[in-house]
Structures are given as structure tokens and as C-alpha cells.
Amino acid sequence: MRYFLSVIILLQLCSCFWGKKPGPGDYVATKVWGWRPVYAHESTYSDLTVSNTPRSVEKAGKIYVYGNKIFQNEIGKGIHVIDNSNSAAAHRIAFWGLPGNTEFSIKGNYLYANNYTDLVVIDLSNNTSPQIIKRIKNSFIAYDQQNPYPWQAPEESGYFDCPNSYPDSMVVNWRRDSISSNSCYKP
């Protein structure tokens, strides 16, 4: 019995030197299912892509009437072009892919829009083949805690890896993955 008691006491003493167990105030990071950002190089998202095949609206944004055309924003994706020459039968005629686009405005023959953090000016004089004629880099705040841009946090609530800031890359999508619970959280 004495031998058994000695072993128990020895084990208890040794456990004091094997590391501190977390207490009530200690935070322990665990793995949770969350969202991991997908980055793309600037060269892959900075071009305007024009498709004469209209597509359905998934996440509608601002609408702007210009002449006999209606321009409708697809939040984060680009701009729908709608032919309104016969207002009783308006129909989509094209989609201009402009990733990260959340806002746009038109003045004269120019459409001003954001392409993630850049301001781009698009010449509207030829609607079938619009061209970016000017780009002003980093015109918009890249991150605002109170009102983040859609690409800076996933649409769904929950944990997500806080995006990093890279000079030539941008978060273009989110994928579900196992991440650390000490990441960012969206309620």
C-alpha cells in the first residue's frame, strides 16, 4: 500500500511540470468550419469582359437609365445592359463582367465604376464593345470595419479567416474549410 501511495504522489508532482492546463480565463484556439479567402492576382480580375449573352440577375444592385439603355449592377460581378428602346418589351442584351463592382454612375458618354478598390472609367460611345479608358488604382478604402465590401467577408455568417492585404492580389471568392476559431467572425 505504501508503494502504491508513493507512486500516486510522484505522478501528481510530475504533472505539475508537464505544462499548465488551461483555466477558466484562458483562450484555446480550436478548429471550426468556416470560410477561407481565395485570392487572385490583379491581372486576372482587372479586365472588363463583355458577353453578348445576357444572364439572369442573382444579386441586383443599382439601376441607371442612359438613353435607350438601362444598366443594372450585379453586386460583385458586373453590369447588365438592358435594351429599353421599346419600354413595354425591355430585354437584357449583354453582361459586362467587372469583378468586385458594387457601385457605378454615368455622366456624358462615360460610366464610372469600382473594380474592387480601383476606379475605372468605361467609354460608352460603343455599347457593343465598351473599353476601360482609365484606371485610378486604390481609389476606395480597402477595408472598413462598419461597412465591409462584399469581397472582404463571406456572405454567410460564422467564422472566416481575416483577409490579408497584398499589393497585387485581392479576395475574389470564399471557400468552406477548417480554420482556427480565433479568426474573424461575422454575426
The domain spans of the chain are 31-186
Torsion over CA: 129, 135, 137, 141 (sign):
negative
pLDDT at position 151? 61
Residues of the chain with pLDDT under 50: 16-19, 145-146
Q: Which is nearest to 73 in space by CA: 88, 83, 63, 82?
A: 63
pLDDT at position 69? 93
Question: Could you say which architecture CATH assigns to the domain 31-186?
Answer: Beta Barrel (2.40)
CA distance 66 to 122: 14
pLDDT at position 9? 63
pLDDT at position 105? 95
Dihedral pair phi/psi, residue 10, rounded to 5°: -65, -45
Dihedral pair phi/psi, residue 83, rounded to 5°: -80, 120
The 10 Å Cβ neighbour count of residue 176 is: 13
pLDDT at position 80? 95
pTM above 0.95, yes or no: no
CA distance 151 to 143: 10
pLDDT at position 137? 85
